[in-house]
Amino acid sequence: MINRVVLTGRLTRDPELRTTGSGISVATFTLAVDRQYTNARGEREADFISCVIWRKSAENFVNFTSKGSLVGIDGRLQSRSYDDKDGKRVYVTEVVVDSFALLESRRDRENRGQNGGYTPTSGNAGTQNTNNFQNNDRPSQPNTNSSAPKPQDPFSGSGDAIDISDDDLPF
């Protein structure tokens, strides 16, 4: 049987860290994951996925993320049930996170925090396009911010010419 979940999205609020009676750390959070297509009004909808992460990973997750953080998670889907205070059976389905990745730099996260959260550059409020293409499949305009670091050529200054013959190419 296969039970794998891989998601990329933004946190809807700061993750909540708790400790079990036996001293194990557990954090819960909700991940907003954009749907691939827009609705009839041209707006992009999102799914809100409940997630739980355990032990040291939970502590690290809480320390390095906050509301609006862009994260990738890998885990498994789990269902459970419990009786609430009124004796009513409650069913919960959530993603149990095995690993996560921070998908934005600390600088981007801090800039987003200074601006009061994520602010999209297009006219579609509350939506985000994380790839380099707009909805009409045209490449977006490159960032012309002069303070952004320019990529450096790793071979510049080596003085050695790179000689690659057609036989070295795999195609």
Cα separation, 57 vs 25, in Å, equals 9
pLDDT for position 34: 93
Cα separation, 33 vs 118, in Å, equals 14
pLDDT for position 160: 63
pLDDT for position 154: 61
Q: Residues 151-164: pLDDT tens digits?
A: 666 666 666 666 66
Strand partners, 139: 133
The mean pLDDT value for 64-74 works out to 93
pLDDT for position 50: 95
Domain architecture of the chain: domains with CATH: 5-114 (2.40.50.140)
Residue 134's Cα: distance from chain center in Å?
A: 19
3-class secondary structure, 167: helix
